[in-house]
Amino acid sequence: MIISVNWLKKYTDIDISIDELTELIGSRLVEIEEVIDLGKKYEGVVIAKVVECAPLEGSDHLNVTKIDDGGVVEGVERDENSYVQVVCGAPNVRAGLTVAWLPPKSVVPETYGKDEFTLDARKLRGVMSNGMLASAKELDLWDDHEGIMELEDERKAGESFAAAYELDDYLLDIENKSLTHRPDTFGIIGFAREVAGIMGKQFTTLPRMLPGGVRWPEKVGDLLTPKVTIDNPELSSRYQAVVLANVDSKIPLAPLEIQTYLARVGVRPHSAVVDVTNYMMMISGQPLHAFDYDKLKAVNDGEIDIHVRAGREGEKLVLLDEREIELSTNDIVIANGDTPVALAGAMGGRDTEIDENTTTVLLESASFNLYNLRNTQMRHGIFSEAITRFTKGQPAELTTPVLAGAVDLLRIAASAELVSDVADAYPVQQKSADVCVTQSTINDVLGSDFGMEEITNTLLNVGFDVDVESPYTIVAKAPYWRTDIHIPEDIIEEIGRLNGFDNIKPVLAARDFTAVSPSDFDKTRTLMRRTLTRAGANEVLTYSFVHGDLLKKAGQDLENSYRIVNSISPDLQYYRQSVLPSLLNLVHANIKSGYDEFALYELNKAHVKSDGLDDAGLPIERDFLAFVVASKKPHGASAFYEAKNYLEYLAQQLGVDMQFKPAFENPKSANARPFELRRSAAVIAGEEVLGIVGEFKRSVMSSFKLPEHTAGFVVSSSMLAKLSNDAQSVYTPLSRYPSVERDICFQVNADVDYEKLQAAAQGILDGLDVATEIKPVDIYAPDTSEYKNVTLRIKFTSYTKTLVSEEVAEFVRAVEESAKTSVNAKIV
Amino acid sequence: MSSIDSIKDALFARVAVSDSPREFLRAPELRTLASEIKNIPNDQKAAYGKSLNEFKQELTSRIEAREAELADAAVISIDVTAPWGVNESRPELLSTTIGSEHPISTELDRIVDIFTRMGFDAHESRQLDDDWNMFGALNFPEGHPARDGYDTFRTEEGFIPPAHTSTMQNRVLKSGRKKLEAGGQIASISYGRVFRNEDVDATHEHTFYQCEGVFVSKDASLAQMLGTLRAFFEEYYGQKLAIKTQPGYFPFVEPGLEFMIEKPASIGGKPGDWLEMLGCGMIHPNVLRAADIDPEKYRGFAWGGGVERMIMLKYGIEDLRHFESGKLAFLRKFA
């Protein structure tokens, strides 16, 4: 929203600099996105009189003019009368006109700040022309192809154009989202009131804007009051209408002052009636609508019988912009008789539009349900100045003063006559909010120290009535335009804001000395992150939403994903069921970028429909740790063992005891879908399955373009965190005696699991009275052999003595015996 | 036609058991069928061509299926209990020098650390929530225009990917009510991922992180809110900071403010440069009521702001899209 500072000044004195003003508005009213110095655009533009005008010889459209600028512009060639010669091609140029002259060295306002065009003195067809006479378009006011702009005769030659039309202005580009609850500030008057308030000044509201302040002019003739009915008071709190006749549409536009003010805030001139309604809307925030009275009557057999009602299923309406829309029961329509003639609050209908033949208008001033209008706005894509204001919820009490203001202006600007009484459907009187609040509540909530007088004056300045109930209690009565005031907090906000929140001294809350720690889950998650990072892996964060193709590539069922229905892109169509596929999706791109080997991990959430809902009726949300390791070239160990090695390292750092069992089919597990079960293991801790580690299915490998050496895991990070938190830290003291190591090479059948062999050894070692540790050294098999040789290194440590060879040999023999019995091992 | 049918079944049967199924794309039978077309009456040529094409397509898909079957059969089971495979060497971890944490994680840890030291507990926010937590509990009436500002996604079931971490507020207030009534305070932050239905560019993302805080006590005040937030940012940037505010409108607070800090020297700030850090305000009585907390007895303040911007300012990161790109070129800068 654009706010003109000069426009504000019409309603309140502003005697501080623009910088101080914008600083104050920014800190106490609303964010200003940009301040535009409009005066700069019109620098050098001078009002002049066309004294002589004669056709240029040899041209069919150019005229040579002599203009009088009162001699104010320096450095231009002048004749003996001190007039300046300008060649002009506009069809309407003639002697006697008052015009805007762009002298040499001035910049054409239309080009200001863009590709600037600076004028000079140059010859046109051999005749010297000093600068140019400007059209409204060249002055960047509005599109006008008729010719140069014709100014009022009473303007003086030599006067600055900017000063004459108050274009020596600053425009404030306001971020109006934060004024959503303040319909009053969408009008210049309301905004000016706030500006007065934040400057600590009393704002004087025009008497006409106050309740009961309207004086209607005497009506002419005996036209009956138009019949208006609000069929459903939920849709509209008030509907007023009057009829104005003898509207002189030959007067194409409202006075230039109105036009130039509208133009600077982006509203183009249209016709006297429309310009006046726009002007009233801009100053008050209350949109008006004008119907062509005769066309309106015509749709209902010559009768006016206006109804404000809901749209009906299947009903159609052609709007001003020629669009035919289908109405919904959420739309509010204005109908005459049974025929819809306007989409209330949004746009008028084509069939009742005013045009150059219009002589009589019916002027509407009404308020509509903002929720319905918001709906209408979205459904029909209408984002006009009017609906923007209506959707903030303009109050019912505002319709009368604005309607009266428009009638007054139209009588002046379009020589219109009021020919009817005011029709007024107003089913429920708007109530003003009375809010009782104490001085101490205000100061307690804000942490401030306001006195009663400060509090009272702050409210009086912006139009509240204040009753002092007791020395420390007031009842603040909100003016009708403050529809946002309901509760003491609203008054507290006013006091804090208008006096500047920044004047409140920041303090810290008192607290006890209880220590607060991050949650167990957060702590463990940080530890997981540290561990994997230390092991050379890179943490990634990827989107929670995925393309359906990604789910398919990972072998997951689309129906098992929560689906986003209003996504802007197919990439964000589904909630992911597992974090891992997002990582697989990154492997190929990173390899292509020149990273030959890497490990990626992500700690994040996933949702699977088949998990169902929790007690609060929300989808079960699970936390996972997903990991993938990939290499362009094969490594010494299969990818499976690399991924498992990472997981074991993590388990050890977290103090979690993990086992690996051959993976099994769990049709419900979305996590397991991409894994090749013959080369994957279920990750088990105690009774619980934490997740899965392994290589991927051939189909997954090819659809994600994964290199041969790729594996990964996905485990429940919340279960892992719990296990880690429950883990006891184990420490065994150092022994004072040396340790002894022995390597044993077992030959076992190729299909004997490593774990079985290790268990056979461990069973014996656990029964010894020395500390032991088993480490694998080598797993070897000659080609096509039915056997494999597994070499284990066992470390023996006694806490009571130095072990001798015989003792150790005895231990080794026991281990060998156990392996022979349980896995049929031979000792090599 | 009949000749296609007769050849088809035989060919498919052979593909199904072949060790090199791709060869069947060059089967002589196909050539025969193709040359057959000259003997077909003109009015049947189109139909013949069509069925020949369909046949070729089905053959291709059967070949692919057989290839996948062969590849699958070639998969060798492994001993998942072993430390490495037969004739393989011990697997190694990658070099510690290339490992990295994501800058968002690092920063969230730091934010959580400061707030916990200040006495706030911390929880990660949900990533899928409902209308009540997104809007209803936060004093946004049904159909209220202020809802538009959040550009929320929706699922088929009407669930909402949270557009702010304030979705946690009602839960935090409810779970802290007992503590409050026992004479304590609610001091809690929620952090996590939020979603907005926006086009993505260097400064806009549909997925980003926020951190949100609430404090409720018998005597919470706006002055305390300003003090708390200033204390956080001073600790975060390790220097004294000037602050200022701007009125803001959020239905869940009254009064509502935007909170700014003077850009710290450590990130290249000069006096007069201001950074908008977050939105904040005194918790609206309706929000307390929605959590069964009596607004006559207790008051609170709340705030929430984005995390990425703090990181971008800290490191001079130029493009918001890097964060979720998964590019090692970006990630390893934080190694």
With cut-offs at 50, 70 and 90, classify the pLDDT of residue A626. Answer: very high
For the four alpha carbons of A116, A120, A124 and A130, in that order, the dihedral sign comes to: positive
Determine the Cα–Cα distance for residues A364 and A356; give it in Å rounded to an integer: 20
Ranking A76-90, A188-202, A312-326, B136-150 by mean pLDDT, the lowest is B136-150
Q: Within a domain: residue A508?
A: no
Residues B117 and A621 sit within 8 Å (Cβ to Cβ): no
In this predicted structure, what is the pLDDT of residue A630?
A: 97
With cut-offs at 50, 70 and 90, classify the pLDDT of residue A679. Answer: very high
Q: Within a domain: residue A129?
A: yes
A163: which residues sit within 8 A by CB, 6+ positions away?
A: none
With cut-offs at 50, 70 and 90, classify the pLDDT of residue A252. Answer: low
The pLDDT tens digits of the residues spanning A365-398 come to 999 999 999 889 989 999 899 999 999 999 999 9
Q: Say whether pLDDT at B1 is over 60.
A: no
The reply to whether A578 touches chain B by the CB within 8 Å rule is: no
Instruction: Label residue A388 left, alpha or beta by phi (over 0 means left) and psi (-120 to 50 means alpha).
Output: alpha
Determine the Cα–Cα distance for residues A329 and A527; give it in Å rounded to an integer: 57
Residues A659 and A673 reside in one and the same domain? yes
Residues A248 and A319 reside in one and the same domain? yes
Give the range of the structural domain holding residue A235, as residue numbers without chain letter.
Answer: 227-425
Residues A375 and A274 reside in one and the same domain? yes
DSSP state letter for B160: B
The token pair at A523 is: 């702590």
CA-based nearest distance B147→chain A, Å: 11
Mutate to test the interface with A, among B217, B246, B296, B323 (most CBs of A within 10 A): B246
CA-based nearest distance B135→chain A, Å: 15
Q: How many structural domains is chain A composed of?
A: 6
The reply to whether A619 touches chain B by the CB within 8 Å rule is: yes
Which of A425, A457, A477 terminates a domain? The answer is A425
Instruction: From residue A383, give the alpha-carbon distance in Å to each of A278, A315, A343, A458, B296.
Output: 15, 22, 13, 35, 41
Mean pLDDT across the stretch A573-595? 97
Mutate to test the interface with B, among A482, A489, A608, A614 (most CBs of B within 10 A): A489
Quote ipTM for the complex. Answer: 0.90
Q: Within a domain: residue A761?
A: yes
The reply to whether A620 touches chain B by the CB within 8 Å rule is: no
Secondary structure class of A222 (helix, strand, coil): coil
The H or E element containing residue A195 is helix A188-198
Residues A72 and A46 sit within 8 Å (Cβ to Cβ): yes
The H or E element containing residue A401 is helix A399-413
With cut-offs at 50, 70 and 90, classify the pLDDT of residue B233. Answer: very high
With cut-offs at 50, 70 and 90, classify the pLDDT of residue A716. Answer: very high
The CATH number of the domain where A314 resides is what?
3.50.40.10
> CB distance B84–A539 less than 8 Å?
no
What b/e sequence results for B14-40 when a residue is b if at least 16 CB atoms lie within 10 Å of its CB, and e otherwise?
Answer: ebeeeeebeebeeeeebeebeeeeeee
Residues A363 and A421 reside in one and the same domain? yes
Q: Within a domain: residue A315?
A: yes
Which of A683, A699, A726 terminates a domain? The answer is A726
With cut-offs at 50, 70 and 90, classify the pLDDT of residue A251. Answer: low
> CB distance B230–A374 less than 8 Å?
no
Residues A640 and A652 reside in one and the same domain? yes
Residues paired with A684 in a beta bridge: A659, A689
A16: which residues sit within 8 A by CB, 6+ positions away?
A: A24, A199
Which of A539, A662, A699 is opposite residue B68, by nearest beta carbon?
A699
Residue A165 buriedness (CB in 10 A; 0-12 / 13-18 / 19+): buried
Determine the length of chain B.
335
Give DSSP secondary structure letters for B129-153: B-HHHHTGGGT--TT-GGGGGG---
Q: Would strands B121-124 and B186-195 be described as parallel, antiparallel, or unpaired?
A: parallel
Mean pLDDT across the stretch A26-43? 95
Whole-number average pLDDT of chain B: 92
Q: Within a domain: residue A99?
A: yes
The reply to whether A736 touches chain B by the CB within 8 Å rule is: no
Whole-number average pLDDT of chain A: 94
Mean pLDDT across the stretch A110-119? 93
Which of A642, A660, A680 is opposite residue B91, by nearest beta carbon?
A642
Q: Say whether pLDDT at A198 is over 90.
A: yes
The CATH number of the domain where A13 resides is what?
3.30.56.10
Instruction: From residue A320, give the alpha-carbon distance in Å to each of A323, A343, A351, A441, A712.
Output: 7, 10, 8, 52, 62
What percentage of residues in chain A have a pLDDT greater than 70?
99
Instruction: From residue B180, give the alpha-carbon distance in Å to each of A128, A507, A558, B183, B217.
Output: 85, 21, 45, 5, 7
For A684, nearest residue in chain B (alpha carbons): B81
What are the backbone angles phi and psi of residue A628, rounded to the nearest 5°? -140, 140
Q: Within a domain: residue A734?
A: no
Residues paired with A101 in a beta bridge: A46, A133
With cut-offs at 50, 70 and 90, classify the pLDDT of residue A476. Answer: very high
Q: Within a domain: residue A555?
A: yes
Q: Would strands A538-539 and A597-606 be described as parallel, antiparallel, or unpaired?
A: parallel
A758 vs B contacts (CB less than 8 Å): 81
Residues A628 and A705 reside in one and the same domain? yes
> CB distance B222–A517 less than 8 Å?
no
For B124, nearest residue in chain A (alpha carbons): A522
The pLDDT tens digits of the residues spanning A690-702 come to 999 999 999 999 9
Give residues 376 to 415 of A whose Cβ lies within 8 Å of B: 391-392
With cut-offs at 50, 70 and 90, classify the pLDDT of residue A249. Answer: low
Secondary structure class of A253 (helix, strand, coil): coil
Residues A458 and A421 reside in one and the same domain? no
B221 vs A contacts (CB less than 8 Å): 444-447, 507
Q: Say whether pLDDT at B133 is over 70.
A: yes
Q: How many CB atoms lie within 10 A of CB B296?
A: 8
Give residues 737 to 796 of A whose Cβ lies within 8 Å of B: 750, 753-756, 758, 776, 779-781, 788
In this predicted structure, what is the pLDDT of residue B107?
A: 96
In this predicted structure, what is the pLDDT of residue A667?
A: 65
Mean pLDDT across the stretch A519-548? 96
With cut-offs at 50, 70 and 90, classify the pLDDT of residue A712. Answer: very high
Residues A645 and A566 reside in one and the same domain? yes
CA-based nearest distance A806→chain B, Å: 30
Cα Rg, chain B, nearest whole Å: 32
Determine the Cα–Cα distance for residues A653 and A825; give it in Å rounded to an integer: 33
Which of A501, A533, A575 is opposite residue B99, by nearest beta carbon?
A533
Mean pLDDT across the stretch A325-351? 95
A757 vs B contacts (CB less than 8 Å): none
Mean pLDDT across the stretch A735-745? 95
> CB distance B91–A645 less than 8 Å?
yes
The CATH number of the domain where A526 resides is what?
3.30.930.10
CA-based nearest distance B126→chain A, Å: 8
The token pair at A733 is: 């003291």
For chain B, give every residue range classified as CATH 3.30.930.10.
103-334
Q: Per 3-state DSSP, what percentage of chain B is helix, strand, and coil (rounded to 5)?
A: 45, 20, 35
What are the backbone angles phi and psi of residue B221, rounded to the nearest 5°? -140, 165
With cut-offs at 50, 70 and 90, classify the pLDDT of residue A568. Answer: confident
The model's pTM: 0.89
B249 vs A contacts (CB less than 8 Å): 177-182
Residues A484 and A591 reside in one and the same domain? no
Residues A491 and A472 reside in one and the same domain? yes
Residues A807 and A795 sit within 8 Å (Cβ to Cβ): no
Which of B87, B89, B116 is opposite residue A518, by nearest beta carbon?
B116
The token pair at A105 is: 């060295």
Q: Say whether pLDDT at A582 is over 60.
A: yes
The token pair at A299 is: 């749709």
The CATH number of the domain where A775 resides is what?
3.30.70.380
Residues paired with A332 in a beta bridge: A310
The pLDDT tens digits of the residues spanning A124-154 come to 888 999 999 999 999 999 887 789 999 999 9
Residues A11 and A111 reside in one and the same domain? no
In this predicted structure, what is the pLDDT of residue B141?
A: 86
> CB distance A540–B331 less than 8 Å?
yes
> CB distance B93–A565 less than 8 Å?
no
> CB distance B145–A543 less than 8 Å?
no
Residues A606 and A672 reside in one and the same domain? yes
> CB distance A31–B144 less than 8 Å?
no
DSSP H stretches of helix in chain B: 2-17, 28-35, 42-73, 103-117, 131-134, 169-181, 222-237, 285-290, 308-315, 328-331
Which of A111, A131, A164 terminates a domain? The answer is A164
Which of A31, A540, A694 is opposite residue B246, by nearest beta carbon?
A31
Fold of B103-334: BirA Bifunctional Protein; domain 2 (3.30.930)
The token pair at A574 is: 């589904």
The pLDDT tens digits of the residues spanning A748-788 come to 999 999 999 999 999 999 999 999 999 999 999 988 789 99
